[in-house]
Chains A and B, each alone.
Chain A
Amino acid sequence: MQEFLEFTLGGVSVGMVYAAIALSLVLIWRGTRVLNYAQGGMAMFTTYVALIVINHTGSYWLGFAVALAAGLALGGFLELTVVRPAERRPPLNAVIVTIGLLIFLEGLAGIIYGGQYRSFPPAFSITGLTAGSVALGISPSGVFTAAAVLAAAIALALVFRYTSVGLRLRATAFSPDVARLLGVRIGRVLTLGWALAGLLGALAGLLVTPTTFLYPNSMDAIFVLGFTAAVIGGLDSPVGAVTGGLILGVLLSYVGGYLGSNLVEIAGLAALVLVLMLRPAGLFSAPAARRV
């Protein structure tokens, strides 16, 4: 029972990181129908930026803010320079281009920062919380992780729901042609979507790296699990992305806890294949026919 509680709460905290990655993928997918395989690489890169700032200034929160800003800028920059030309070409090209971006960023990080594992400081203590004598299996840092992603998701939902920028983002995702006819400057909206996704990815990187160490490939496994979460929820559904992240996080936490940690990635693969087989468009999607 004690173990179960620990694994569940630990899973929620990790699951929120998957949710952040999933949310960033959904944000880009809805706008541009591109799946951004470079999301993990971008998050890894901005986390290096945070580490440099933290080491130079000694302030964690300054590094945190700079990394988020860097994620915002990187997302927008990549959309303008690399993704937009790829959109005019067949979809497979865009897939290969974002894979290229991933590898390029990982190589660049290796060149600039070296390949060795570096530790990255957590925002808060990582000693587990207890309720009386019962260990809860979650640390203040884990609570912060869950709260930060939840806050970001809610902020995003509010922006989408109540602001004119959000309306433009939704209109573009719904129908780019109609949105353009109604005077939405689609190019800017798409750049903004990528920038916001970059910010979310950067947040995920900052939150998860204290538990994984920082190295050029550090986000690979996190990214594929975030992708799995997005697929579980359905690539079109932001709510699904967060739910998918939570489900996957808790599920994998049980697998890792009860069956062995080296099974986590295999279990992720199994979950992904299972969902793709049974509900290819995600658990939260209405059934839809593929358009001819």
Chain B
Amino acid sequence: MTLAKHLGAAVLLGAVLLAASYQLGSYHDYQLAEVAAFVVAVAGLTVLIGVSGQISLGHGAFMAIGAYAAALIMTHLGWPLYLIIIASALITAAAGAIVGVAAARLRGPYLAGATLMLAVALPSVADRYQGVLGGDQGVNINVTAPGFLGPAFQLTQWLAWICCATALVVLVLLANLMRSGIGRGWRAVRDDEVAAALSGLNVARLQVLAFVVSSACAGAGGCLLAVVTANVSPGAFTLTLSVGLLTAAVLGGLGSLAGAVWGSLLFVLAPTFLTNLAASHGLSGGASSSVPIAAYGLVLIVVMLAFPAGIQGGVRRLLGLAAPAAGAPLSALRRPAWPRATPDQGTANGPHQGTQVNREEKGTTP
């Protein structure tokens, strides 16, 4: 039932996008392709953080792995594009499994720090293996629209098709996964690891699986981004990208796939808008290119403090919908994932103490 619903929505959205790709000019088709590429990555991240309760600041690095895998396969093996997308997702999933095994043992700040380190360290690998990975210049890749579409067909429109199709497939897969037993397991682990373990869930396996799924998405997104921008270089996969993906997921609403779409849309469109706005207000080129970065930071702070449910939370409130089980906002996390020594420390033990008090009352009252 839900599968049919998700497929129906995807087909509908696909038809709208197909029609739109003819109406939009070459530049906007390019932007559409870019947005779709980021939707794939951000959707994976939002599932990881919002549904499974693990954080990653290194998803830019996973995108880099997918992008380099795609570039190397394309230049050395010359596989067809759809196989390359799948292969780069699988390769990145393998990398994600390794990180995930480490991550399953780590809690909050340690996990965030380890993945942050990944984001900072990985670009230097390209520098280390210049022969294969091309150093700072990176690797150029070349995609052409297939011949049967005719010689006049715009490459950007073909790219928009590829990216949107992949994004829709990924969204349907993720939506179903979130509704499945695995998704329920993730949410159980997120809300209370101990309770989940006591209910017979394999906590570590679920956490690793979340990392694998999420990094596969990031890899596919990185592959699409490489195809769209026709180049893979370390400069594209800095810490700023990782934080940008996080910003998109947070802004859209953690744990919400629709939120991932909103977030990616803003992630691609807002920087250009902000940079132009700043430049028109007399900021120099270097300074105005920093405006989007400052904006990411501001968005992360304000959304997390004031609107933890993000845009999709606002949309739901406007439409009068209740928060769905799959997209419960992060603030619904009841139990801190690691001990806190803050003044409200009592909340960590609250339920415990409460039950103890009740028991005593029952025992003593005649």
Partner-B contacts on A (CB < 8 A)? 29-33, 35, 37, 82, 85-93, 95-97, 99-112, 114-116, 173, 175-177, 180, 186, 216-217, 220-221, 224, 227-228, 231, 235, 260, 262-266, 268-269, 272-273, 276-277, 280, 290-292
Q: Bits for B31-57, please: 1 = Cβ < 8 Å to A, else 0.
A: 000000000000000000100010101
Among B109, B278, B338, which residue has its beta carbon within 8 angstroms of that of A290?
B338
Contact B333 A90 (CB under 8 A): yes
Among A33, A105, A265, which residue has its beta carbon within 8 angstroms of that of B297?
A105
For A115, the chain B residues whose CB sits under 8 A away are 286-287, 289-290
Contact B304 A100 (CB under 8 A): yes
Q: Could you tell me how many residues of chain B have their Cβ less than 8 Å away from some Cβ of chain A?
A: 68
Contact A93 B304 (CB under 8 A): yes
For B296, the chain A residues whose CB sits under 8 A away are 100, 103-104, 107
For B206, the chain A residues whose CB sits under 8 A away are none
Contact A33 B341 (CB under 8 A): yes
Among B55, B120, B300, B344, which residue has its beta carbon within 8 angstroms of that of A100?
B300
Residue of B whose beta carbon sits closest to that of A176: B343
Q: Bits for B92-116, please: 1 = Cβ < 8 Å to A, else 0.
A: 0000000000100111111011101
Q: Which among A31, A101, A115, A180 has the greatest number of chain B C-beta atoms within 10 A? A: A115
Contact A86 B304 (CB under 8 A): yes
Contact A110 B121 (CB under 8 A): no
Say whether chain A's binding surface is mostly helix, strand, loop, or mixed. helix
What distance in Å separates the Cβ of B191 from its nearest Cβ neighbour in chain A? 11
Compute the total of residue contacts between A and B using a CB distance below 8 Å. Answer: 208
Residues 74 to 133 of chain B near chain A (Cβ within 8 Å): 102, 105-110, 112-114, 116-118, 120-121, 124-125, 127-128
Contact B342 A111 (CB under 8 A): no
Q: A100-B301, A224-B116 are in contact. Are A107 and B330 (CB under 8 A)?
A: no
Residue of B whose beta carbon sits closest to that of A82: B301
Among A87, A89, A114, A231, which residue has its beta carbon within 8 angstroms of that of B287?
A114
Among B128, B290, B336, which residue has its beta carbon within 8 angstroms of that of A111?
B290
Among B247, B336, B343, which residue has its beta carbon within 8 angstroms of that of A90?
B336
Residue of A whose beta carbon sits closest to that of B195: A292
Contact B342 A265 (CB under 8 A): no
- Judge whether B268 is part of the interface by a CB distance below 8 angstroms: no
Question: In the complex the two chains form, what is the Cα distance from A85 to B342 in whole Å?
Answer: 12
What distance in Å separates the Cβ of B133 from its nearest Cβ neighbour in chain A? 12
Residues 127 to 186 of chain B near chain A (Cβ within 8 Å): 127-128
Among listed B16-24, B211-219, B238-246, interface-contacting one: B238-246
